[in-house]
Structure 1
């Protein structure tokens, strides 16, 4: 049995139990603004955006909604979605897990900020084709990953959560195999809280 089985489920349980504390602690300083701007600039005005692992919505959903995109937020934590839907009751909030998500709709942009890296390496390999399939032709994917292949941990409200990453080369190869072209990658961006950010386009 794979010893990593269930780690993403443990992460979900931690976010569910600590949704309010996480939301209160989540920075609103928008160090992500440069990447969000670049992401948005590649989309049609008022285009459709799918936010996977949207959490309680601050600050990523707030930015995307404020920019006028047709927004859909998906998260695997009901408690997180309850907070988000109370803030923006007119938006499309859906309970779901990116590892098994099936949607008929396709989107101009898919973002998975601080969520995709909670999947194990094998889950990431299996999920990338799902993300590619959710994009319209010409659409853009943006996600946070790790600076190199391997596993590490982070914390949510004092609880340890799992992080993993493939290598940049493997991401590029997997994206290409699924019809996407890597357009940007920056490891540990010093101006964005040392996030490692990947962007790709479905040409």
Structure 2
């Protein structure tokens, strides 16, 4: 196995170890607001949202919940979920790996912000249809991905962490094969701290 392959297998371990520091250092400026508003505009009033890779629920889960949407947060790192439950015990927090996600229901919108891109390319090919199966017809799925196919590294606290992306064209093919459509795709959006954002509408 390559060094990047080994690193990909350590993502949850890295977030477990750094959960408290990540929560302290995670920006709260809500630079994501423009995309979150666009996503929420595709969700009916009071519609339920599934936040996959929710971390500690701040600031994104807090913003969406504050906009009147019940938010269910799922994360594979128990330490992240523990912080979320302690801070917002009234919300639905569940420990779970998106690679095996099976909620047994559909939501009005599904979000995987700064989480989906930690999966390998092959995992993304398997998980993207899985996420779409959790979205009600006409509802949005929004992901942050990379601008081109490949593998890179980033940082969580002092640890190096794995990132990967498929090509924009392959994302579109997978989404359309699931009967959904790409509603918007922005490469390294300067208004969103350089994030590449994929917004789909479930069929």
Whether TM-score is above 0.5 comes out as yes
Paired residue secondary structure (2:109): strand
Cα deviations across residues 129-156 of structure 1 (Å, max 9, x unaligned)?
A: 1001111111110000001111101000
Residue 189 of structure 2 is aligned to residue 167 of structure 1 = no
Q: Structure 2: where are the runs of 5+ without partners?
A: none
State TM-score, norm by structure 1.
0.97
1:156 to 2:162 alignment: no
SS at match of 2:56: coil
Kept in 2, the 8 Å contact 1:145–1:197? The answer is: yes
The CA deviation string for residues 36-58 of structure 1, in whole angstroms up to 9 with x for no partner, is 00000110001010000000111
In the TM superposition, what whole-angstrom CA distance separates every residue of 1:73-115 from its partner, at most 9, and x where no partner exists? Answer: 0000010011111111011100001101111111010000000
Question: Runs ≥4 in structure 1, deviation > 2 angstroms?
Answer: 1-9
Q: Distance in 1 between matches of 2:57 and 2:49?
A: 13
Tell me, in whole angstroms, the C-alpha distance in 1 between the residues paired with 2:85 and 2:33. Answer: 23
SS of 2:9's equivalent in the other structure is helix
Name the counterpart of 1:101: 101
TM-score by length of 2: 0.97
CA distance in structure 2 between the partners assigned to 1:6 and 1:110 by the alignment:
29
Indicate the SS of the match to 2:139. Answer: strand
More strand by share: 1
Q: Offset of 1:7 from its aligned partner? A: 4.0
Distance 1:93 1:82 in 2: 9
Query: Which structure 2 residues correspond to residues 4-15 of structure 1 after superposition, within 5 A?
Result: 5=5, 7-15=7-15
Q: 2:118 matched to 1:118? A: yes
Query: Any stretches of 5+ residues in structure 1 without a counterpart?
Result: none
